[in-house]
């Protein structure tokens, strides 16, 4: 398995956990790392203005513990926002990689002239990227983009080349346009065109939901790494599966008990780092996704979904672990 380098940061495997607001929080990143195969993880999306203003809830997300490494700290904002200052603050507080969000298609980000709206102004965006790079004191800066705004405005190869020219160390490409959001199939040809346009590493993103789709992304596009996003919510062990395949090994078989143990571990990590309220909110919402990998366990999902405490969630999961059979609930 080829290693990947982003600036001076060496990734042990070319498999990346995507930065996802409200999903890729510290407990989930630690869970994925413990399961194996995560060469790099992305932080949640961090608002540049909030960092500069010193809002504690945001700043704490930009200061990961040592075990959450290597981490790419993703910041977002518009051309007028203090992204260089926010990046400099993150670097001063231990960030190993700064990632600029140029690919978020969500309205609340784009309406503030951030996210993938930055792709509509390649020259100005490249100038902003250079300012961020200059503020980061040799810490590598990367960017995450989409193919373009829509099918008539596929600017990814152009903006990737401009970003490389100003010193960006790597580019992640989500193989959809902004107007698509998350609908339709990912366009591997679009990612391949970005790979052809630059000499820096390109990370392919979009529709990675199995070892097979990851291998197709590598082989078809020639990308240096793959990034897994939403699918990791129901199979956080997918990183380990992909990295094992890259090493010529078979994926670990995980029966129902092993998967329930993963949910229990996720619960404990949330309790440790975010508290019971967050644990209840996360696990009761995500049990449906986890459940898709567990077979016919409707009574278990219902017990977890209706739980009023972390202890109730734990008891429901452990009871199912013990019996290995369905129960009436």
Q: Does domain 256-323 have CATH number 1.10.3470?
A: no
Q: Is 184 left (phi over 0), alpha (psi -120 to 50) or beta?
A: left
Q: Is the pLDDT of residue 306 over 90?
A: yes
CATH 1.10.1200 location in the chain: 256-323
What is the predicted pLDDT for the residue at 94? 87
E strand or H helix at 72? strand 71-76
What are the backbone dihedrals phi and psi of residue 312, each rounded to the nearest 5 degrees, phi first?
Answer: -65, -40
Residues 172-178 have a mean pLDDT of 91
In 3-state terms the chain splits into helix, strand, coil percentages (rounded to 5) of 50, 15, 40
The pLDDT-based confidence of 326 (bands split at 50, 70, 90) is very low
Rounded to an integer, what distance in angstroms lies between the CA atom of residue 328 and that of residue 323? 12
The token pair at 112 is: 């503030």
The strand pair at 170-174 and 71-76 is best described as: unpaired
Q: What is the mean pLDDT of the chain?
A: 90
C-beta of residue 115 within 8 angstroms of C-beta of residue 102: yes
CATH 3.20.20.70 location in the chain: 4-246
The token pair at 110 is: 């784009």
**Span of 56-65, 100-109, 193-202, 243-252 with lowest mean pLDDT:** 100-109
Q: State which fold the 4-246 domain adopts.
A: TIM Barrel (3.20.20)
The pLDDT-based confidence of 132 (bands split at 50, 70, 90) is very high
Residue-wise DSSP of 94-132 = T-SEEEEEE----HHHHTTT-GGGGGG-HHHHHHHHHHH
**Residues recognised as catalytic:** 104
The pLDDT-based confidence of 179 (bands split at 50, 70, 90) is confident
Report residue 272 CA to chain centroid gap: 21
Q: Is the pLDDT of residue 320 over 80?
A: yes
């Amino acid at each position: 398995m080829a290693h990947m380098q982003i600036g001076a940061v060496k990734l042990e495997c070319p498999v990346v956990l995507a930065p996802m607001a409200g999903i890729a929080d510290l407990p989930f990143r630690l869970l994925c790392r413990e399961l194996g195969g995560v060469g790099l993880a992305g932080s949640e999306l961090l608002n540049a203005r909030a960092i500069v203003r010193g809002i504690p809830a945001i700043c704490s997300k930009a200061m990961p513990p040592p075990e959450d490494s290597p981490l790419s700290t993703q910041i977002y904002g518009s051309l007028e926002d203090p992204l260089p200052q926010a990046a400099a603050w993150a670097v001063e507080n231990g960030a190993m990689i700064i990632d600029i969000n140029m690919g978020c298609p969500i309205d609340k980000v784009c309406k503030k002239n951030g996210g993938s709206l930055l792709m509509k102004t390649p020259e100005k965006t490249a100038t902003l990227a250079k300012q961020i790079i200059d503020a980061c004191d040799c810490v590598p800066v990367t960017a995450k983009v989409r193919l373009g705004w829509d099918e008539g405005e596929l600017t990814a190869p152009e903006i990737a080349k401009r970003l490389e020219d100003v010193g960006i160390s790597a580019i992640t490409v989500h193989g959809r346009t902004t107007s698509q959001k998350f609908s339709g199939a990912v366009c591997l040809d679009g990612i391949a065109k970005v790979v052809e346009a630059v000499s820096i590493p390109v990370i392919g993103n979009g529709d990675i939901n199995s070892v097979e789709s990851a291998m197709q992304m590598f082989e078809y596009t020639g990308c240096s790494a793959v990034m897994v996003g939403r699918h990791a919510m129901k199979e956080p062990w997918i990183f380990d599966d992909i990295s094992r395949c890259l090493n010529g090994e078979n994926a670990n078989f995980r029966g129902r008990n092993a998967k329930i143990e993963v949910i229990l571990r996720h619960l404990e990590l949330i309790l440790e780092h975010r508290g019971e309220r967050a644990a209840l909110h996360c696990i009761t919402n995500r049990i449906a996704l986890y459940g898709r990998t567990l077979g016919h366990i409707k009574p278990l999902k219902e017990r977890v979904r209706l739980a009023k405490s972390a202890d109730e969630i734990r008891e429901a999961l452990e009871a199912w672990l013990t019996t290995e059979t369905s129960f009436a609930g």
